[in-house]
Amino acid sequence: MLILSLLLSSCASMDDNNKQRQVASVISYLFPDTQEVPTANSNIAHITVPFRIGIAFVPDNASPEFRLPENERLKLAGQVRDAFSHYPFVQEIVPVPSVYLKSEGGFANLERVASLLSLDVIALISFDQVQNSGASGWSFLYWTGIGAYIVEGDQYDILTSVETTVFDIKSQRLLMRAGGISTIQGAATWVGFSEYARAARTQGFVDAIDKMIKELHVEVKMFRENAVKDPMINLLLPKGYNPN
């Protein structure tokens, strides 16, 4: 009886705290001292082509057991790197470890990272992931004890939204942005719930970033077409380079 009571009190479907969320806000990171939506600055972006880009996940507020592991972050950043490495105006794309970015560090933090890694442009990946969990109609079979191992009595619903914002670091000018959204639903046994939910959260990031990459390709095309005639962007081209 004691074991079954502990079992029921621990399963996801019986937990009052059945909603978990991890948020990494690019606004909170870059503009920590203001509650207002920042306006576009008037600085001209002087960009030397080809340029070096850093890719980094914005610092988040997730608890350690819920947050996306660092090895998965670097793997996802590597997917973005590989998707854009063939562009001729890109010299190199560098995944930036999360420890390099300080919570609410702002552009001052980015400038130090850029100096350390010789970056011209930074792509910041922000996200908002929510996991809702609850009982399915089969959760009553947990009373049997064995049911905790074979009955998928707990459900999860995970919504993941990611966005990449690309900034010229010196001018602090936003060059482009793109986003992606993923929804994953599933069920698991009480014993396997944490493992399955963790895998689903990671897959949510993978799916959302895949969609974001497609949108970012569209944004890159628009940037290539508009940058040469944008008065707020000054492209410093090497001799013989064709901007088209």
Dihedral (Cα; 63, 69, 70, 73), 10-degree rounding: -110
| HSE toward the beta carbon, residue 30, CA cutoff 13 A | 25
Closest among 127, 142, 243 to 181, alpha carbons compared: 127
| pLDDT band, very low/low/confident/very high, at 36 (cuts 50, 70, 90) | low
**pLDDT tens, residue by residue, 99-144:** 999 999 999 999 999 999 999 999 999 999 998 775 544 444 444 5
> Is residue 116 helix, strand or coil?
helix
pLDDT score of 170: 93
Give Cα 172 distance to the centre of its chain. Answer: 20
**pLDDT tens, residue by residue, 51-97:** 999 999 999 988 887 888 889 999 999 888 888 888 888 899 999 99
The span from the CA of 189 to the CA of 192, in Å, is 5
| Strand positions, DSSP E, the chain | 19-24, 45-48, 51-57, 90-95, 121-135, 154-168, 173-188, 233-236
User: Which amino acid, 14?
Assistant: M
